[in-house]
C-alpha cells in the first residue's frame, strides 16, 4: 500500500498546502499528545502488534488527531481505507461503501471505514453499521466530539471500543510549534510571553496552534517580533471551544454548580465568566443560580433565593454588560452561604412517599365539612384550632391514619436552619407531652 501522506503534487504545490496538513504524522510513533494510545505501551500500539483490530469510537475535541490516527492505523495494519462524513453522507453512500468493502473481502482484504462526526447519523443509520461490523465486512472507526454515551446507540457501543483522545497539553503544543519551525526553517517571530499566549489560544487543538502559527508568519515583517498584545491584534483571538447545546456546556455548568456547592467563590466566578465569555445566555445562568439556591443552600440561608431572583431581574432590567455583575454577586453569595440540601432531600423523600402510598384520605379531623352529610361522616370533628392552644400548638397528627407519622425534613446545625431545628425539637417535645 502506498504511503497515504506522501505528496503526489509538485513540490511548489505541496508547499502551498496548509501547515497542519504538511505536518501530519507519517507513523503512529510521530503522533504527539496521545501517548496513552500511540506511545510504546499505548492501546493502539498494542492492537497493531497483536495483528488484530476491532471496531472503535474515537472520542475527543477537535484537532487531537482522530482522523490522522485512523489513516495511520489502516496503513500500518495493511487495510483498505474508506472515509465518509456523517454530515454529507446518507444511506445510499453507506450502501456503496459496504458493497465496496464486501468486494474487497472476497479477495481477502479488509476495510477500515472511518466515519467522521458519527454522532450526526440518526439511530436508524447507526443501526445499519451493525451487520457489517458483526460479519467483519468493515472495521468501523467512528470519530465524535460528543459524549458517545449520549449520542450513539447502545447496540453500536456494545460492538466498539471507545478510545478517548485528550486535548493537547502545553508541552505537546510546544512540540508541534517546534516541528513547524523546523519544517519552515525559521523561528516564530514571538517573544516568550506571546508564544505562551499563542499556545493558550489554541485551547488544546493541535490544528489550531499550527494555523495560528501560520497566521503569525504571514503577518510578520522582516525582523519584527510580536509581543502578546500584538499577537492578539493579529489573530483576533480564537474563541473558546464551547457548544452551548453539547458537552462543553454541560461540563462547565456542572463545574460551576459543584464549585458553588463546595463553597469556593473563586472557582465559581471563574466558571461563570468562562460561560459568559463563550456566549452563554446570561438568563440561563441566572436560572441555574436560582436552582442552586434552592438545592444547595435552601433554608440554611433563605435570603439566597431572594438574592438570586433579584440578580436575574437585575440582568433582565440592565441587560449586558452591566447586568452580568448582578449574576456575579449572586454567584459569590451562594458560594459563601451556609449549605444545606435538607429541603431538597425532604422533597424527594416526601415525593417518593406520595407515590408509594396512593390516595390515602387525610385524617377526618382536618377535613372541611361544608355539608350536613360530611359533618355526619365525622369531617372536622375533634379539630383543635392551633391559635387557641397553649404556645399556638395543638400537637395533633396530620398524616393519613394508615400511613402514620413520618419525618422528611431534618435540618442540619448550620445557618438559619439551626434555629429551625430548635423549633422542630421544641414542637416534637410538646407533641409527645400532649399526646401521651
Which phi and psi angles does 227 have, rounded to 5°?
-95, 180
pLDDT band per the 50, 70, 90 thresholds, residue 241:
low
pTM of model > 0.85: no
Q: pLDDT (tens digit, 9 = 90+) per residue, 112-140?
A: 999 999 999 988 899 999 999 998 899 99
Q: CA angle at residue 356 from 353 to 357, to 5 degrees?
A: 85
Is the separation of the CB atoms in 400 and 363 below 8 Å? yes
pLDDT band per the 50, 70, 90 thresholds, residue 336:
very high
Q: CA angle at residue 250 from 232 to 316, to 5 degrees?
A: 75
Whole-number Å distance between alpha carbons of 240 and 169: 15
Instruction: Spell out the residues 6+ positions from residue 404 whose beta carbon is closer than 8 angstroms to its own.
Output: none
Name the residue ranges covered by the structural domains of the chain.
11-164, 170-235, 247-336, 355-434
Instruction: Identify any residues that bridge with 226 across adjacent strands, giving them in sequence order.
Output: 190
Give the β-pairing of 80-85 and 161-164.
unpaired
pLDDT band per the 50, 70, 90 thresholds, residue 200:
confident
Q: Judge residue 90's burial from the number of C-beta atoms within 10 Å of its C-beta, 0-12 exposed, 13-18 middle, 19 or more buried.
A: exposed
What confidence score (pLDDT) does residue 12 get?
54
Among 5-14, 175-184, 284-293, the range scoring the smallest mean pLDDT is: 5-14
Q: Reduce the DSSP state of residue 150 to 3 states and report it.
A: helix
| Predicted confidence (pLDDT) at residue 374 exceeds the cutoff of 80 | yes
Is the separation of the CB atoms in 198 and 212 below 8 Å? yes
Instruction: Spell out the residues 6+ positions from residue 323 whose beta carbon is closer than 8 angstroms to its own.
Output: 282, 314, 315, 316, 317
CA contacts within 13 A on the Cβ side of 302: 5
Q: Reduce the DSSP state of residue 69 to 3 states and report it.
A: helix
DSSP type of residue 306: H
Q: Reduce the DSSP state of residue 85 to 3 states and report it.
A: strand
Whole-number Å distance between alpha carbons of 211 and 129: 35
Q: CATH number of the domain at 11-164, please?
A: 3.40.50.300
Q: pLDDT (tens digit, 9 = 90+) per residue, 60-96?
A: 988 899 999 999 999 998 999 999 999 888 888 899 9
Q: CATH number of the domain at 247-336, please?
A: 1.20.272.10
| Predicted confidence (pLDDT) at residue 297 exceeds the cutoff of 80 | yes
Give the β-pairing of 80-85 and 111-116.
parallel
What are the grid coordinates assigned to 20, written together?
Answer: 497542519
In 222-360, alpha helices (H) = 228-235, 247-261, 265-277, 282-292, 303-318, 324-336, 342-357
Average pLDDT rounded to a whole number, residues 384-411: 91
| Predicted confidence (pLDDT) at residue 2 exceeds the cutoff of 60 | no
Is the separation of the CB atoms in 408 and 349 below 8 Å? yes
CATH architecture of 170-235: Orthogonal Bundle (1.10)
What confidence score (pLDDT) does residue 237 get?
65
Report the Cα 377 to chain-centroid distance in Å. 58
CB atoms within 10 A of CB 153: 18
Average pLDDT rounded to a whole number, residues 187-207: 91
CATH architecture of 355-434: Orthogonal Bundle (1.10)
| Percentage of the residues of the chain whose pLDDT score is greater than 70 | 94
| Predicted confidence (pLDDT) at residue 291 exceeds the cutoff of 90 | yes
Q: Average pLDDT of the chain? A: 89
What confidence score (pLDDT) does residue 5 get?
43
For residues 76, 79, 84, 86, the Cα torsion angle rounded to the nearest 10 degrees is -80
Whole-number Å distance between alpha carbons of 68 and 34: 12
| Predicted confidence (pLDDT) at residue 199 exceeds the cutoff of 70 | yes
Evaluate whether 170-235 and 355-434 have a shared fold: no
Q: pLDDT (tens digit, 9 = 90+) per residue, 16-52?
A: 688 888 889 998 888 999 999 999 999 999 999 888 8
Is the separation of the CB atoms in 298 and 265 below 8 Å? no
Give residue for cell 454588560: 321
Average pLDDT rounded to a whole number, residues 391-415: 91
What confidence score (pLDDT) does residue 3 get?
44
Amino acid at each position: 500500500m502506498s504511503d497515504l501522506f506522501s505528496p503526489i503534487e509538485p513540490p511548489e504545490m505541496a508547499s502551498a498546502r496548509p501547515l497542519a496538513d504538511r505536518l501530519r504524522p507519517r507513523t503512529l510513533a510521530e503522533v504527539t499528545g496521545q501517548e496513552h494510545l500511540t506511545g510504546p505501551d499505548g492501546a493502539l500500539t498494542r492492537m497493531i502488534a497483536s495483528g488484530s483490530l476491532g471496531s472503535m469510537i474515537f472520542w475527543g475535541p477537535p484537532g487531537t488527531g482522530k482522523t490522522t490516527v485512523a489513516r495511520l492505523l489502516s496503513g500500518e495494519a495493511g487495510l483498505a481505507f474508506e472515509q465518509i462524513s456523517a454530515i454529507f453522507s446518507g444511506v445510499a453512500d453507506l450502501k456503496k461503501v459496504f458493497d465496496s468493502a464486501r468486494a474487497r473481502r472476497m479477495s481477502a482484504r479488509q476495510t477500515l471505514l472511518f466515519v467522521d462526526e458519527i454522532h450526526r447519523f440518526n439511530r436508524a443509520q447507526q443501526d445499519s453499521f451493525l451487520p457489517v461490523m458483526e460479519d467483519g465486512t468493515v472495521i468501523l472507526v467512528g470519530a465524535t466530539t460528543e459524549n458517545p454515551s449520549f449520542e450513539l446507540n447502545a447496540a453500536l457501543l456494545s460492538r466498539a471500543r471507545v478510545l478517548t483522545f485528550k486535548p493537547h497539553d502545553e508541552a505537546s503544543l510546544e512540540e508541534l510549534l517546534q516541528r513547524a519551525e523546523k519544517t519552515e526553517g525559521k523561528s516564530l517571530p514571538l517573544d516568550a510571553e506571546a508564544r505562551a499566549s499563542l499556545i493558550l489560544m489554541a485551547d488544546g487543538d493541535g490544528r489550531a496552534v499550527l494555523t495560528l502559527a501560520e497566521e503569525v508568519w504571514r503577518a510578520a515583517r522582516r525582523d519584527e517580533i510580536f509581543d502578546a498584545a500584538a499577537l492578539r491584534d493579529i489573530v483576533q483571538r480564537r474563541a473558546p471551544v464551547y457548544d452551548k447545546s453539547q458537552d462543553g456546556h454541560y461540563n462547565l455548568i456542572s463545574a460551576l454548580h459543584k464549585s458553588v456547592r463546595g463553597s469556593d467563590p473563586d472557582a465559581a466566578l471563574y466558571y461563570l465568566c468562562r460561560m459568559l465569555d463563550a456566549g452563554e445566555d446570561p438568563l440561563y445562568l441566572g436560572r441555574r443560580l436560582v436552582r442552586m439556591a434552592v438545592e444547595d443552600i435552601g433554608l440554611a440561608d433563605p435570603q439566597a433565593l431572594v438574592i438570586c431572583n433579584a440578580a436575574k431581574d437585575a440582568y433582565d432590567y440592565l441587560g449586558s454588560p452591566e447586568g452580568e455583575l448582578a449574576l456575579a454577586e449572586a454567584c459569590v453569595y451562594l458560594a459563601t452561604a451556609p449549605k444545606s440540601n435538607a429541603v431538597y432531600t425532604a422533597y424527594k423523600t416526601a415525593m417518593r412517599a406520595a407515590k408509594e402510598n396512593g390516595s390515602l384520605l387525610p385524617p377526618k379531623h382536618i377535613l372541611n365539612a361544608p355539608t350536613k352529610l360530611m359533618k355526619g361522616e365525622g369531617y372536622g370533628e375533634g379539630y383543635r384550632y392551633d391559635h387557641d392552644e397553649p404556645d399556638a400548638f395543638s400537637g395533633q397528627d396530620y398524616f393519613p391514619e394508615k400511613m402514620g407519622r413520618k419525618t422528611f425534613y431534618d435540618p442540619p446545625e448550620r445557618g438559619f436552619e439551626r434555629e429551625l431545628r430548635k423549633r422542630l425539637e421544641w414542637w416534637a417535645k410538646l407533641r409527645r407531652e400532649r399526646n401521651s
